[in-house]
């Protein structure tokens, strides 16, 4: 028997060794190489150099050749990422991942992203179409020159990549539109609030706070919503949950930061620009750092795999950064449909039917019938979606125009080409100017309406009336304060005559950035790159501090003492931040429950603060009962939640453990493959709601700092690295700098020693 067991053990060890060896061969075989095959369409030689983090510098005589090289280099490092992105947009993931991907595929087939992208290609301006064709040539040159060596993921999935097309690039753009401008579910939630008392609706949906940082002024001081008078709500039935997806904890609202300070506030006497977009974190990350020298002129920053050119970065004269504008570019229309026709005034319109066939790996293909009206596809029930992104005429790829900008006038001209998704663009130039501009298409709606709830689709008066002219989009140049900051807050005050949106994330991050810049100025401290990155890494929440101060007298004595003098920092070792966040969540949920509002609607942090500062009489009139009992109940609920998750020993609770990085690679979810594909997990500083946004799989997708006093020292760091390949030394080499901060070395610095490589030849 012992011999049998020994034989089995030996066979198991041998099998493991063989499997490991085979896997090692697969990994090695699919690592990037430095071969440079011919790329169709090249007009001249293109040279490529790499710095010590694998960031490529492409030197070409013109943009077309540069983008051909970009396509090849991007495919070399990120082909599987691009394959998944275009499949996600096209509703084609179930073909490789099976039924688990069907919900996503159904939604994207309803949107019809593939059809929109195909229709948009011939509508692109000639120069933009040429850019994307050049990029496509380079991607396909890699695919063609590396048969069955496209990446480990392709080998394990037995997947052959399709050749890239210009429409695939527009699919990438559409996915960014979805991530940054999809609001229709919130409109359904807001409509359901119509059954609530007016005071409750106003309190939950008001876009005004005491800390608003608008760049275009308000007409007078906006009136903040009063605490609800909710006695009349007692007899109302509970508001049901949304049924589509949770709107989420208001603490988890995503966002991005960018700001520019004038030379009057900096050590160099020149402007500094900073940008850290907050997006979902994946392996690899969303951005690919790259440099170009085109016709002798430098451009560097991050590219979006699948799109031509630099998206965020700087050239020799101008630096630019983006945050989401949060403009409302979607509206729902409730259609009255009878016998396959939708009512239009006194007439009728035939509802269009489109059949989609979704291949499913390991199963039968699914048949999906998509219904559409002239307003757009019916996304749920008889609600049709009108969305800027679903009109092929609205898709543009103007990166080259921004890359060539030299001054304020050319920046403004280039930014008028960014039609979707809408962005806050903060820029700074070498001449000493700083500016902000809101970009994108903003629908002109029926007077007196704002698109926050679904319209009656049968009334033609509810249709859009065109878009706000680009010449009238809000902008600021060289403000007297000496800085401009956006963090997804309400930026256009009531003096701007159009409706930009109605649902704004908290202004807390923008206000904190402005406060830190102002404090430095008041203390006579001039800012440099290190000081600016310190702001990017700031973890303090003034709103959470104020909330805990407001309720402190009603907390247990030991807890009250522990929060005395607290600065509200989301440090990894902090237990107070963990407890305060849990309390705020439960506090908001209790209020919503009392008002019979579904908890997934969420109570924004400034509305929680308003309640926390209210007195006992106001609490009672709001239908919340005695304030002391309300606070105690929320505190007890929060402690119970934390004990259930972390054990009863509160001395071992830490924010960092609750906020561990938990990024997954798509194949890391396959049992037994997490160790191979997933990046490390570790406790994190920061949180959503503070300047240093950080959660399990969401956070700073890159950090960029440009000081025009020393532009060659521009720093840029991404979460992981340039490569998406398991086994590459550039897959995770930027992680320590992203995690710990890198004010002097996490750079896309052209001056760094580079190892030359044989470039592309025509």
- pLDDT the model gives residue 601: 87
- The per-residue pLDDT for 760 is 84
- The side-by-side arrangement of strands in the sheet containing 337-338 is 337-338, 341-344, 347-350
Q: What is the pLDDT of residue 749?
A: 55
Per-residue pLDDT for 241 more than 50? Answer: no
pLDDT digits (tens, 9 = 90+) for 337-387: 999 999 999 999 999 999 999 999 999 999 999 999 999 999 999 999 999
Q: Is the pLDDT of residue 4 over 50?
A: no
Dist. CA 96–CA 101, nearest whole Å: 9
- Tell me how far apart the terminal alpha carbons of the chain are, to the nearest angstrom: 69
Give 559-563's long-range contacts (Cβ < 8 A, gap of 24+): 559/635
Q: How sure is the predictor about 12, in pLDDT bands with cuts at 50, 70 and 90?
A: very low
- If you average pLDDT over residues 99-115, what whole number do you get? 97
Range of the domain at 624: 542-653
- When pLDDT is cut at 50, 70 and 90, the band that residue 27 belongs to is confident
Bridging pattern class, strands 288-294 and 56-60: parallel
Q: What is the mean pLDDT of residues 722-734?
A: 95
Whether pLDDT at 99 is above 60:
yes
For residue 733, the tally of other CB atoms under 10 A from its CB is 16
Nearest to 127 by CA among 49, 193, 70, 62: 62
Per-residue model confidence (pLDDT) at position 245: 35
| Res 244 pLDDT > 50 | no
What phi, psi does 360 have (nearest 5°)?
-130, 120
**pLDDT score recorded for residue 17:** 45
Q: Residue 762's pLDDT band (boundaries 50, 70, 90)?
A: confident
| Tens of pLDDT, residues 598-638 | 888 889 999 999 999 999 999 999 999 999 999 999 999 99
Percent of the chain's residues with pLDDT above 90: 86
Residue 417 has pLDDT above 50, yes or no: yes
pLDDT tens-place string over residues 478-526: 999 999 999 999 999 999 999 999 999 999 999 999 999 999 999 999 9
Average the pLDDT over each of 36-40, 701-705, 753-757 and give the range with the smallest value: 753-757
438 assigned to some structural domain: no
**Residues 212, 66: Cα–Cα separation, whole Å:** 43
Q: What is the mean pLDDT of residues 300-312?
A: 97
CA distances to 143, 699, 723 from 664, rounded to whole Å, are: 26, 14, 16
Q: Residues 306-330: what's their mean pLDDT? A: 97
Q: Does residue 592 lie within any of the structural domains?
A: yes
User: How many helices (H) does the chain have, and how many strands (E)?
Assistant: 23, 27
The larger pLDDT score, comparing residue 748 to residue 429, is at 429
Query: What's the chain's Rg over C-alpha atoms?
Result: 27
Please give the C-alpha separations between residue 366 and each of 162, 362, 414, in angstroms, as whole numbers: 22, 12, 43
pLDDT in tens, 386-404: 999 999 999 999 999 999 9
Q: Is 177 helix (H, G, I), strand (E, B) or coil?
A: helix
Q: Span 262-274, mean pLDDT?
A: 98
Q: Determine the pLDDT at residue 128.
A: 97
Domain count within the chain:
1
In a domain, 505, yes or no: no
3-class DSSP state of 457 = coil
**Tens-digit pLDDT profile for residues 521-573:** 999 999 999 999 999 999 999 999 999 999 999 999 999 999 999 999 999 99
Residue 629 forms part of a structural domain: yes
Band (728; pLDDT cuts 50, 70, 90): very high
Mean pLDDT of 57-86: 97
Q: Please check whether residue 587 lies inside any domain of the structure.
A: yes
Length of the chain: 762
Position 250 scores a pLDDT of 56
* Residue 350: burial class (beta carbons within 10 Å; 0-12, 13-18, 19+): exposed
**pLDDT given at position 246:** 41
Residue 235 has pLDDT above 90, yes or no: no
Exposure string over 293-324, b if 16+ CB within 10 A, otherwise e = bbeeebbbbbbbbbbbbbbbbbbebbbbbbbb
Give the pLDDT confidence score for residue 229 in this predicted structure.
87
Percent of the chain with pLDDT over 70: 92
Burial profile 465-478: b = 16 or more Cβ within 10 angstroms, e = fewer:
eebbebeebbbbee
Give the residue-averaged pLDDT of 682-709.
96
- If phi > 0 it is left, if psi is from -120 to 50 it is alpha, else beta; for residue 151 that is left
Q: Which residues contact 12 (CB under 8 A, 6 or more apart)?
A: none
Task: Give the model's pLDDT for residue 580.
Answer: 97
Q: Minimal CA–CA distance to 350: which of 341, 361, 359, 363?
A: 341
Closest CA to 430 of 667, 606, 552, 269: 269
Task: Note whether residue 138 is domain-resident.
Answer: no
For residue 242, tell me if it sits in a domain: no
Residue 231 — very low, low, confident or very high, per pLDDT cuts 50/70/90?
low
Q: What is the pLDDT of residue 249?
A: 55
pLDDT of residue 34: 80
- Residue 513: phi and psi, rounded to 5, are -60, -45
Indicate whether 200 pLDDT > 70.
Answer: yes
Residue with tokens 């071969």: 35
In a domain, 638, yes or no: yes
């Amino acid at each position: 028997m012992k011999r049998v067991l020994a034989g089995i053990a030996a066979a198991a060890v041998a099998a493991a060794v063989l499997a490991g060896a085979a896997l090692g061969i697969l990994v090695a075989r699919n690592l990037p190489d430095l071969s440079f095959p011919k790329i169709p369409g090249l007009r001249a030689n293109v040279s490529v150099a790499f710095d010590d983090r694998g960031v490529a510098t492409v030197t070409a005589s013109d943009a077309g050749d540069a983008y051909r090289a970009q396509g090849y280099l991007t495919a070399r490092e990120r082909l599987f990422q691009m394959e998944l992105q275009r499949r996600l947009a096209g509703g084609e993931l179930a073909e490789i991942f099976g039924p688990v991907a069907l919900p996503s595929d159904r939604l994207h087939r309803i949107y019809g992203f593939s059809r929109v992208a195909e229709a948009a290609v011939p509508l692109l301006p000639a120069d933009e179409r040429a850019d994307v064709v050049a990029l496509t040539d380079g991607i396909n040159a890699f695919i063609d020159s590396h048969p069955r060596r496209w990446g480990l993921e392709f080998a394990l999935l037995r997947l052959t990549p399709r050749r890239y097309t210009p429409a695939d690039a527009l699919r990438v753009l559409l996915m960014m539109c979805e991530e940054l401008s999809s609001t229709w579910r919130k409109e359904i939630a807001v409509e359901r609030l119509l059954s609530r008392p007016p005071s409750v609706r106003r309190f939950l949906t008001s876009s005004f706070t005491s800390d608003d940082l608008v760049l275009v002024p308000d007409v007078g001081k906006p009136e903040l919503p009063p605490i609800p008078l909710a006695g009349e709500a007692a007899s109302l039935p509970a508001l049901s949950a949304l049924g589509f997806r949770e709107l989420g904890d208001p603490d988890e609202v995503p966002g991005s930061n960018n700001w520019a300070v004038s030379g009057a506030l900096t050590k160099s006497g020149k402007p500094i620009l900073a940008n850290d977009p907050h997006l979902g974190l994946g392996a690899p990350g969303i951005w690919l750092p790259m440099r170009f020298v085109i016709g002798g002129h430098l451009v560097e920053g991050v590219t979006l795999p699948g799109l031509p050119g630099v998206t965020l970065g700087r050239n020799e004269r101008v630096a630019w950064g983006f945050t989401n504008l949060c403009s409302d570019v979607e509206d729902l229309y409730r259609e009255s449909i009878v016998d396959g026709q939708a009512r239009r005034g006194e007439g009728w319109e035939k509802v269009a039917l489109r059949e989609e066939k979704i291949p499913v790996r390991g199963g039968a293909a699914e048949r999906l019938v998509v219904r559409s009206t002239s307003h757009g596809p019916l996304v749920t029930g008889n609600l049709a979606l009108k969305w800027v992104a679903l009109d092929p005429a609205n898709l543009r790829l103007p990166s080259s125009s921004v890359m060539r900008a030299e001054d304020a006038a050319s920046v403004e001209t280039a930014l008028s080409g960014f039609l979707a998704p809408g962005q806050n663009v903060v820029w700074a130039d070498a001449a000493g100017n700083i500016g902000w501009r809101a970009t994108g298409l903003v629908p002109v709606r029926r007077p007196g309406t704002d698109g926050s709830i679904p319209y009656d689709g049968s009334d033609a008066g509810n249709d859009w009336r065109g878009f706000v002219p680009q010449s009238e989009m809000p902008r600021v140049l060289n403000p007297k304060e000496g800085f401009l900051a956006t963090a997804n807050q309400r930026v256009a005050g009531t003096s701007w005559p159009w409706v930009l949106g109605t649902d704004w994330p908290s202004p807390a991050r923008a206000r904190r950035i402005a406060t830190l810049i102002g404090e430095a100025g008041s203390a006579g401290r001039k800012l440099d790159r290190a000081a600016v990155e310190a702001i990017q890494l700031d973890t303090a929440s003034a709103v959470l501090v104020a909330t805990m101060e407001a309720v402190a007298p009603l907390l247990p004595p030991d807890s009250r003492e522990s929060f005395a003098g607290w600065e509200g920092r989301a440090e990894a070792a902090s237990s107070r931040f963990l407890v305060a966040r849990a309390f705020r969540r439960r506090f908001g949920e209790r209020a919503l429950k009392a008002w019979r509002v579904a908890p997934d609607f969420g109570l924004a942090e400034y509305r929680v603060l308003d309640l926390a500062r209210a007195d006992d009489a106001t609490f009672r009139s709001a239908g919340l009962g005695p304030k002391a009992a309300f606070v105690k109940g929320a505190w007890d609920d929060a402690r119970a939640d934390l004990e259930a998750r972390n054990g009863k020993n509160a001395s071992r609770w830490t924010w960092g453990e609750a906020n561990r990085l938990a990024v997954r690679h798509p194949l890391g979810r396959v049992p037994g493959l997490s160790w191979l594909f997933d990046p490390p997990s570790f406790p994190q500083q920061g949180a959503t709601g503070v300047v240093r946004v950080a959660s399990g799989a969401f956070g700073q997708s890159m950090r960029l700092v440009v000081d025009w006093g020393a532009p060659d020292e521009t720093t840029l760091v991404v979460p992981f690295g340039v490569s998406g390949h398991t086994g590459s030394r550039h897959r995770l080499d930027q992680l320590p700098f992203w995690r710990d901060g890198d004010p002097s070395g996490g750079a896309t610095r052209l001056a760094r020693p580079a190892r030359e490589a044989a470039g592309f030849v025509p």
